[in-house]
Structure 1
Amino acid sequence: MNATAAPAVFAPWTEPDAVPLIHLNGVTKEFGSFTAIDNIELEIFPREFFALLGPSGCGKTTIMRMLAGFEDPTRGTITIDGKNMAGVPANKRAVNMMFQSYALFPHLTVADNLAFGLKRSPMPKSEIKGRVDEMLRLVQLTKFASRKPHQLSGGQRQRVALARALAKAPKLLLLDEPLGALDKKLRQQTQFELMDIQEKTGTTFVIVTHDQEEAMTVASRIAVMDEGRIKQVATPDRIYESPNSVYVADFIGDVNIIEGSVSLVDGEKAELQWTEGARPIRAMSGQGISTSDKAAFVVRPEKVAIATTEPTDMHNRVQGTVEDIAYLGNMSTYHVRLADGTLVKAQAANNRRISRRGITWYDTVWLSWSDTAGLILPN
């Protein structure tokens, strides 16, 4: 019996010899006295699906506009495919951009929308129809070639816009909130279609989004931004499991945050003194914490167990009262108020019918978590 080789892991950022497609070196962008981008260093590699994630006004769209050539850095350099982009206009870059509005021509058919940019490119006219047909197959819209945009659904228009952006085979495709106009279910379906198309074409995608779930789903790596700075760049699992700051932990997904002071640091382990008379919280040590520092313990609700009896085998255990329950179908989130007023959330899978569950409002319960479930981070 022949053993099947494991698929190669895509992680060029871990390879010392890998050459990035995009390099932002000390890039700052100022609009008058306002600093939109503050001395950013960033590398994005070929074939990556890279996400710029952050709240409105954090600078992610400004980075995209500088990559596209619509804005110039105030200081620093942007390199794409080894070439300094200083002075290179947008139409001379191997970059295309897909806007949230899709910007399709309403009077043109789907096929003509795809051909529009190709007719103004150096591509021989004899090759344009073949390229249009190839793009229609890629986005599974061949039978809609003769329709006009108003005859398509939102998801189909999104795919036409994507095909048009990819038709000229750019080395870099910029996507500005590309799924923002779609309803939640279609948005989730389209995320996987985007990933499949990106993998098939091998084009480097950079997506701007404020939707954490979207970034976690599609991206090979995520840059979490705030106030013009990059807080952390890592794979989705590392961003979620090992955030480097309370800001990142709080921005990505749901999290409990308990503030206190560091009472012990021992290698990868640490303890946090958080309220008078309570045993210290044991957790993993985040970077840059020292004894007596102000810090915060962060733990995801799904890593917190809830029970009606005291789990004496767990060091991290606290008692409280159920204040609220959010029923989410496959799971429930319990909001538990501790004696000192701290609110802690715990999640439990709904593997029983509602009538058979043992915890309800105003019950006294115990919450517990392992010593490796959370992190103590600088605050």
Structure 2
Amino acid sequence: MNTQTIDSNFAPWENAEETPLIDFQNVTKRFGEFTAIDNLNLKIYEREFFALLGPSGCGKTTLMRMLAGFENPTEGTIILDGQDIAPVPPNKRSTNMMFQSYALFPHLSVADNIAFGLKRDGMAKGDVDARVDEMIRLVQLGKFAKRKPDQISGGQRQRVALARALARAPKLLLLDEPLGALDKKLRQETQFELMDIQESTGTTFVIVTHDQEEAMTVASRVAVMDHGKLVQVDTPDRIYENPNSTYVADFIGDVNILKGHASKTDAGCTIAWGEGQPEINTSCGTELRGAVHYAIRPEKIAVSADKPDAANVLKGTVLDIAYLGNISTYYVKLATGEVIKAQAANNRRISRRSFTWEDEVYLSFTDTAGVVLAQ
């Protein structure tokens, strides 16, 4: 698929002079006594692939429905391309929405499904045909243009729905759990297809998902939500490596979280955390003192039979092992009763595991491997 590659330095959110395409200004949405969105401020920029991520009921779908025009804010303003969209009806907005169900017309062919909205808009037949051909090429469905939706696969139906949504050239495309109906392997393949198409068209995509892996794969930025609030908005790598709270650290990927007490040292800081356990040597912000949480990803922890020379070393017993093909996760129980997860890549084809149940092992990690969090 031919794509126009977005500049690797693409980061309009870091430029204070950049005008956002979407600007939520102190937006609150209530349903009776329930507050779905709580005084939210958010800027989304042109050509972004932006993900709203969070558990069911966190408010991400309500945000999307307000953008689409199916709901209006109780308080606050939503600006789209410089215009307050509250008085603009859904069919007059420069947005389009792709639903999880795809909502294709079963009696129409692939081409006619894509053409439907264009014909409703009164576009000339020659222009409709040209635009449909362009969209079919974009989603690589040339061989299937005359087939009905029940004659193509789930992944192909997903692409038809995407082509139909993009046919009217919206400034903003909203995707509501668009890959939820696909199996895992097809879902992963389709994620990259979505990224290619988004880059090729330059359309701003906003995707709602509860799938953290999906959000981390496709998005330029991710907004992690909880109870109608934005907990953290950042690039996927920063959210994973530098979560701003235990909620984000725990929601994104696997993590070990230890409660402790931070003290400043000349080299950084130490965290006293478990009776009889060595203090954790780490780096932490100047404002972090006293009660803290220490979050460390399992892949940052090495497992060895012999005691290594490392900044941090803990000793424990292998309680359980999860073999996942490319990696193995070891659940190691410490003397305190704390269970620490550590991961090792299975980069060699061997007949037996390096460690087995009830083996005594050492866990080691560097002083920069984890993150110290105040909450």
TM over 0.5, shorter chain:
yes
Query: How far apart are 1:142 and its partner, in Å?
Result: 1.4
Cα distance between partner residues in 1 of 2:131 and 2:283: 53
Which residue is 1:315 aligned to? 311
Query: How far apart are 1:331 and its partner, in Å?
Result: 1.1
Q: Which runs of 5 or more structure 1 residues have no equivalent in the other structure?
A: 1-5
Which residue is 2:300 aligned to? 303
Aligned-partner residue type, residue 9 of structure 2: V
Distance 1:53 1:34, change over 3 A: same
- Where 1:295 maps in the other structure, the secondary structure is strand
Which residue is 2:289 aligned to? 291
Cα distance between partner residues in 2 of 1:164 and 1:265: 60
The percentage of counterpart residues that share the same residue type is: 68
Which residue is 2:281 aligned to? 282
RMSD over aligned Cα atoms: 1.5
Which residue is 2:332 aligned to? 336
Query: How far apart are 1:281 and its partner, in Å?
Result: 1.1
Query: Any residues of structure 2 matched to 1:1-379 within 5 Å, and which?
Result: 8-264=8-264, 269-285=268-284, 289-292=287-290, 294-311=291-308, 313-379=309-375
Aligned-partner residue type, residue 370 of structure 2: G
- Where 1:61 maps in the other structure, the secondary structure is helix
8 Å Cα contact 1:270-1:376 kept in structure 2: no
Query: How far apart are 1:7 and its partner, in Å?
Result: 5.2
Cα distance between partner residues in 2 of 1:325 and 1:355: 16
8 Å Cα contact 1:265-1:285 kept in structure 2: no
Aligned-partner residue type, residue 305 of structure 2: T
Query: How far apart are 1:9 and its partner, in Å?
Result: 1.3
Cα distance between partner residues in 2 of 1:217 and 1:197: 14
Aligned-partner residue type, residue 136 of structure 1: I
TM-score (norm 2): 0.96
Aligned-partner residue type, residue 290 of structure 1: L
Cα distance between partner residues in 2 of 1:375 and 1:47: 31
- Where 1:170 maps in the other structure, the secondary structure is coil
Query: How far apart are 1:80 and its partner, in Å?
Result: 0.3
Aligned-partner residue type, residue 281 of structure 2: R
8 Å Cα contact 1:289-1:377 kept in structure 2: no
CA deviation profile, 1:3-51 (whole Å, cap 9, x unmatched): xxx9551111111221110000100100011000011110000000000
Query: How far apart are 1:122 and its partner, in Å?
Result: 4.3
Query: How far apart are 1:143 and its partner, in Å?
Result: 1.4
Cα distance between partner residues in 2 of 1:254 and 1:206: 25
Q: Which runs of 5 or more structure 2 residues have no equivalent in the other structure?
A: 1-5
8 Å Cα contact 1:289-1:378 kept in structure 2: no
- Where 2:97 maps in the other structure, the secondary structure is strand
- Where 2:274 maps in the other structure, the secondary structure is coil
Size of the alignment, in residue pairs? 370
CA deviation profile, 1:99-135 (whole Å, cap 9, x unmatched): 0000000011111111111111143333111101110
CA deviation profile, 1:172-197 (whole Å, cap 9, x unmatched): 00000000000000000000000000
Distance 1:97 1:7, change over 3 A: closer
Distance 1:132 1:265, change over 3 A: farther
Query: How far apart are 1:220 and its partner, in Å?
Result: 0.3
Query: How far apart are 1:282 and its partner, in Å?
Result: 1.9
Cα distance between partner residues in 1 of 2:289 and 2:14: 32
- Where 1:285 maps in the other structure, the secondary structure is coil
Aligned-partner residue type, residue 273 of structure 2: W
- Where 1:24 maps in the other structure, the secondary structure is strand
Cα distance between partner residues in 2 of 1:134 and 1:225: 36
- Where 2:135 maps in the other structure, the secondary structure is helix
Select between 126-135 and 114-123 the one with higher mean Cα deviation: 114-123
Cα distance between partner residues in 2 of 1:326 and 1:336: 12
CA deviation profile, 1:309-354 (whole Å, cap 9, x unmatched): 111x213111000000000111100000000011101111112344
Distance 1:257 1:347, change over 3 A: same
